[in-house]
A and B are shown apart, each in its own frame.
Chain A
Amino acid sequence: MAQSGQQHPIGIYLKIWALLFILSALSYTVDILQLEGYLRWSLILLFMLLKAGLIVAVFMHMMWERLALVYTILLPPLSLLVLIGLMAVEADYTFLTRLFFFHDGG
């Protein structure tokens, strides 16, 4: 029977597993050390993106798939950046409106 599907040495999964453990421990350390401000947010985002990338690329085998599939799945979520941008502007507006009418007495 022709071998199909994703077959890779087991070692790579163990290595990625260990990496995910280390990255999770690091993001937990950010909280334990009570880091604040931009340092905290950038570290959280960095560890989050690294973990997400490792899971998708190796555990979900995206790095070995045909580009036709990779692009079909990974490009559409980029449109979410537009939603996030729009909602951030909207939330900012709501916040200022609330301050104006409910706190400073409009």
Chain B
Amino acid sequence: MAHDIAVAATGENDHIGIVRDWSADKQVFGVPWGKAMMWIFLLSDTFIFSCFLTAYMTVRMSAVEPWPNASEVFALTLFGHHLPLILIAIMTFVLITSSGTMAMAVNFAYRRDRRKTALMLLFTIILGASFVGMQAFEWTKLIVDEGIRPWGNPLGAAQFGATFFMITGFHGLHVSAGVIYLAVVARKVLRGDYDRNGRYHNVEIAGLYWHFVDLVWVFIFAFYYLW
């Protein structure tokens, strides 16, 4: 059925509204079930990433050897200029841009604009894939050129490598999975599936996942690369 959204909640949206939503004889959340479940999955994912970042805080605070300076480790020399952290900055801008194109895709989806939705999804996929590509380049540089391993590195505290590969690796996996997920959704959009079954909110659900990946990167960027 196309109209599983007919449960959309109405009425005031304050503390009384909360009580009514939870106590009425109906679904609590006035959203398609897929969207509620995506939010709950993202909540669980929040805890996973938070555990990684908290573990990183713990090992960094308790390390007795000096922590390698991320600003220098991730520096690149471009066109004869030595630029600190430049690759990570570019990756950050690429991911934010992909979040922007994703938001546009969701918007066009609700306008029932099939071609523009697919086009924006395609941009998002390309940006996401290039993010993963840059991450592969970064890992290669760290492993091959700088000799950084999960169990140790020549620059200082061994925990640097362990947390780096764990956290960015897990985030990179999320981006890769997101690229595949978006490709599946884009194909369905192009094929007109959502025109037939009316489930254009599936684009919004995919968007939630994609924005979450960007959101996690905001925290990794701040705590791992800038701190």
Residues of A near any B CB (own CB < 8 A) = 1-8, 10, 13-14, 16-17, 20-21, 24, 27-28, 30-32, 34, 40-41, 44-45, 47-48, 51-52, 55-56, 58-61, 65-69, 71-73, 76-77, 80, 83-84, 87-88, 90-92, 94-95, 98-99, 102-103
Contact = CB atoms under 8 A, between A and B. Distances in A.
B33 interface: no
Contact of A66 (B30, B42, B55, B92): B30
Interface in B189-213: 198, 200-201, 204, 207-208, 211-212
Nearest to A45: B222
Nearest to B30: A66
Interface string B76-115: 0000000011000100110011011011101100110000
Contacts of A103: 64
Interface of B: 2-3, 5-6, 8-9, 13-15, 17-18, 21-22, 28-31, 36, 39-40, 42-43, 46-47, 50-51, 54-55, 57-64, 71, 84-85, 89, 92-93, 96-97, 99-100, 102-104, 106-107, 110-111, 198, 200-201, 204, 207-208, 211-212, 214-215, 218-219, 221-222, 225-227
Nearest to B71: A31
Nearest to A9: B107
> What is the predominant secondary structure among interface residues of chain A facing chain B?
helix
Given A27-B222, A77-B50, A91-B57, A68 B29 contact: yes
Contacts of B215: 52, 55-56, 60
A20 B224 CA distance: 19
B222 A77 contact: no
Contacts of A32: 84
Contacts of B47: 77, 80
Contact of B64 (A30, A47, A77, A95): A95
A6 B92 contact: no
Contacts of A67: 13-15, 17-18, 21
